[in-house]
Structure 1
Amino acid sequence: MLQKNTKETVNDNVVRWALLALALGGFGIGTGEFIMMGLLPDVSRSLSITEPEAGNAIASYALGVVVGAPVIAVLAARMARKTLLLTLMALFSAGNVASALVNSYPGLIVARFLTGLPHGAYFGVAALAAASLVPTEKRGRALASLMLGLTIATLIGVPFGSWIGQLFNWHVVFAFVGAIGLLTCLLIIRFVPHAPGNPDAHPLRELSALKNPQVMLTLLVGAVGFGGMFAIFSYIAPTLMNVAGMSARLIPWAMAAFGLGMIVGNLVGGRLADGRVLRVIGGTLLWNVLVMALFPLLAQQVSTGLLATFLLGTSSVLLPSLQIRLMDVADDAQTLAAAMNHSALNIANAMGAWLGGVAVTLGFGWIATAWVGVILGMAGLLVFAITARHAGRQKEYHRKQAH
């Protein structure tokens, strides 16, 4: 009996340390992705460009994720997950070092695009690796542990990076993110169990996911439904500074408020995702629309603006459920579907940042980003309704076939 308990403890420790290693990668990626939101005023001054133009670096990174996730997932379908994770994190680290070294607007756009290429594939492969370490009924909590790195990044990494940026400059911030990537590589080597690649995997089989209506509809839910949050958060620093009159010194605290909301949402979402995921997705989309509709009112004062930023972060409730939904409907194309989830979320990032910037550039004011968010949130609810209806018809069809 003692031997059995010791074995179980060792296994638990293996899972714990492996998830920690994978989550640190998420921490680095989350810091690298969201730090631009807090650095927009500094980057625009440094490169002598407008803040909406600086926001294009956000969209460029997001487009890198959109392109890189499916391409890498298909081409690396047979690669061992540990080897692939190491390769992706090394590329991410190199991209951030390149971002730290550039000193021109075109150079920054290119560097951020290249840095985004491994993002989606890393999270997709890491999600599959994390889910494989635990029983099926605990997948939601394992994925929440993985995504905790991303959400902690918004609470600690992004505010700390914003502080470093104010103390030194934005170049140092990206060098810091690159160092996190290198540390992640070392931890993956040490703690993530090796598992051979799937010799039966084939690019064409992975691409079969794109023929599955439920996969595509679920991806569209994330791409459209999450775009509203990014429309607001991409410009959260200038919005709070210009609308609420917030001091630049308080921007790291606003980032921390968003991060705290992300952590709370992720933990709640991980628990809920082990239940009925479609219901969770629909409820979260509705909650997000409500928060975005309240944002123009709450953003008028510093204190309520911080509350609104926290509530905006709770949109992360959606993340574990979207990932599990894709894993459940992807059949034999698990790697591509898991990676495409982050492509969808970064389509949301790029679309939200771009549309929010267009609204500001056209003269509607910083608060107009919230109304862009509401419109995208309502569109996401519409896509979800179509998804749920199609899923119900599929379920009924299979039930009739069984009888």
Structure 2
Amino acid sequence: MFVTVVLMFCVFGVTTGEFVVAGILPEVAGDLGVPVGSAGLVVTAYAVGMIVGGPLLTAATAAVDRKRLMLVLLAVAGIGNLASACASGLHWLLAARVVTALVTSTFFAQAVVVAVRSAPPGRTGTAVARLAFGMNLAMILGAPLGTAIGHQWGWRTTFATVGVVCLIGAGLVALGIPASSEEAHGSALAELRVLSRRPVLRALALTAIGNIGVLMVYIYLAPLLTQVAAYPQAGLPILLLGYGIGATLGNLVGGTLYDRNPRLWQPTLLGLLALTLAGAWLPARNSLPAALAVVAIGALGFAVVPGTQARVMRTAADAPTLSMAVNASAYQIAAAGAGLLGGAIADSGSGPRPIYLVAAALTGCAALLTILVSRPSTHRSGWRGPRPLSGHTHSREHAWERDRR
């Protein structure tokens, strides 16, 4: 239990550094003297670092002792966030974010394996759910607190605080995580072979397309609410808290629905998310409906996550560590595209409001693609696979094997 709590704290620290940017983006832009859209490249740079660093670093370190590797990864994350706080210009900030992102998904992948192997028999799903709850805490507590710190003492203090939390996490791992007794857990070549499979590539594409719309709204949440809805800046931490609560509840509900009928509920949830994004465009200039839309978007946006993660884990089941990193990379591909496209819209003459409509269109496309891709796979295997983010697992190894072929 203590091992899982330590790892959950580390996941909370590492992922807070990613989520908190949404609440301090205007401050970053103002301090560095760049447009908000250009400051959004901070998110894109982080996403690119995870996309490149996640699978490659995870595969390259496949034979490294897990505890030693986690200590190094947390140290790099801490130093990277401290370097972000000291950046003198946008280019230096982008470089610091890339370095920080390189280790994020690799750490999470290692933490999942350690938590699962240290859990009692039959408690695998609970261990993974607790780590995922560290991410939810980053949204519920980390992002609002970091935003409040940024508004009070500046965005640099926010990044510095995240860096200190990561270094504290490294100390807890050093003291509380036992040395690994397992043998080398694979080779880079064997792990990377997973990426050549067509089902894996399809799963990654659906993860990316299914998340780009909601991420576009989340990244530019601050200008959407302050510039379009005229919401007071002091209220942003509360709205980020609402988004995080919605995301947590949506994750649990979405996982339950996916287990009951993945073929029905995954495209349905994506369709509902598309309609909610489109509906948010209509009252976008009214602060109260816009605030309510934030909670709904958070709930539906994370309701689709269990299904997309389950698909990736299913198709890459013989490389569990890499499959976690690959799924994070696919998610960050969406974040990179969302940062670029949303920035172009935000800096255009029409302002950030059309982001809602573009996000709705992209999410609607994801719903249609999910129907097309899922139909033959679901029909062949009848799979009702694991839902690691919602805390339940099922023994479906035979179905996993059929789906991989």
Could you tell me the TM-score, scaled by structure 2's length? 0.87
- Give the match's secondary structure for 1:245: coil
Which residue of structure 2 aligns with residue 377 of structure 1? 363
Which residue of structure 1 aligns with residue 200 of structure 2? 215
Counterparts of 1:180 and 1:389, CA distance in 2: 44
> Contact between 2:45 and 2:336, CA under 8 Å: does it hold in 1?
yes
Counterparts of 1:399 and 1:264, CA distance in 2: 31
Counterparts of 2:28 and 2:209, CA distance in 1: 28
Counterparts of 1:269 and 1:358, CA distance in 2: 31
Shift of 1:381: 1.9
Which residue of structure 2 aligns with residue 353 of structure 1? 339
Counterparts of 2:79 and 2:258, CA distance in 1: 34
The reply on whether 1:328 has 2:314 as its aligned counterpart is: yes
- Among 175, 179, 183, the alignment partner of 1:190 is 175
AA in 2 matched with 1:354: L
- Among 303, 311, 316, the alignment partner of 2:288 is 303
The reply on whether 1:238 has 2:238 as its aligned counterpart is: no
- Give the match's secondary structure for 1:300: coil
Counterparts of 1:237 and 1:169, CA distance in 2: 16
The reply on whether 1:42 has 2:27 as its aligned counterpart is: yes
Identity among equivalent pairs (%): 31
* CA shift in 2, pair 1:328/1:135, >3 Å: farther
**Bigger shift: 146-155 or 196-205?**
196-205
Shift of 1:201: 1.0
AA in 1 matched with 2:304: L
Deviations 1:347-402 (A, max 9, x none): 111111211111223323211111121122122223322431342465399999xx
AA in 2 matched with 1:215: V
The reply on whether 1:28 has 2:28 as its aligned counterpart is: no
> Contact between 2:32 and 2:89, CA under 8 Å: does it hold in 1?
yes
AA in 1 matched with 2:319: A
Which residue of structure 1 aligns with residue 156 of structure 2? 171
AA in 2 matched with 1:235: Y
Deviations 1:121-152 (A, max 9, x none): 12222233333345787544433221111111
> Contact between 2:317 and 2:400, CA under 8 Å: does it hold in 1?
no
- Among 129, 132, 142, the alignment partner of 2:127 is 142
**What are the within-5 Å matches in structure 2 for residues 3-402 of structure 1?**
16-134=1-119, 139-199=124-184, 201-269=186-254, 271=256, 280-314=265-299, 315-392=301-378, 395=381
Which residue of structure 1 aligns with residue 389 of structure 2? none
Counterparts of 2:146 and 2:103, CA distance in 1: 21
Give the aligned CA root-mean-square deviation in angstroms: 2.5
- Give the match's secondary structure for 1:286: helix
AA in 2 matched with 1:344: A
The list of structure 1 runs, each at least 4 consecutive aligned residues, that deviate by more than 6 angstroms after superposition, is 396-400
> Contact between 1:77 and 1:198, CA under 8 Å: does it hold in 2?
no
> Contact between 2:263 and 2:375, CA under 8 Å: does it hold in 1?
no
Aligned residues: 385
Counterparts of 1:82 and 1:321, CA distance in 2: 30
AA in 2 matched with 1:395: S
AA in 2 matched with 1:369: I
Deviations 1:96-122 (A, max 9, x none): 011011121111111111111111112
Which residue of structure 2 aligns with residue 11 of structure 1? none
* CA shift in 2, pair 1:364/1:259, >3 Å: same
Q: Which runs of 5+ in 2 are unaligned?
A: 383-398
AA in 1 matched with 2:290: G
AA in 1 matched with 2:63: R
* CA shift in 2, pair 1:139/1:390, >3 Å: farther
* CA shift in 2, pair 1:197/1:273, >3 Å: farther
> Contact between 2:17 and 2:81, CA under 8 Å: does it hold in 1?
yes
> Contact between 1:220 and 1:383, CA under 8 Å: does it hold in 2?
no
- Give the match's secondary structure for 2:351: coil
Deviations 1:156-203 (A, max 9, x none): 111111111111111111110001101211222333444345536111
> Contact between 1:298 and 1:308, CA under 8 Å: does it hold in 2?
no
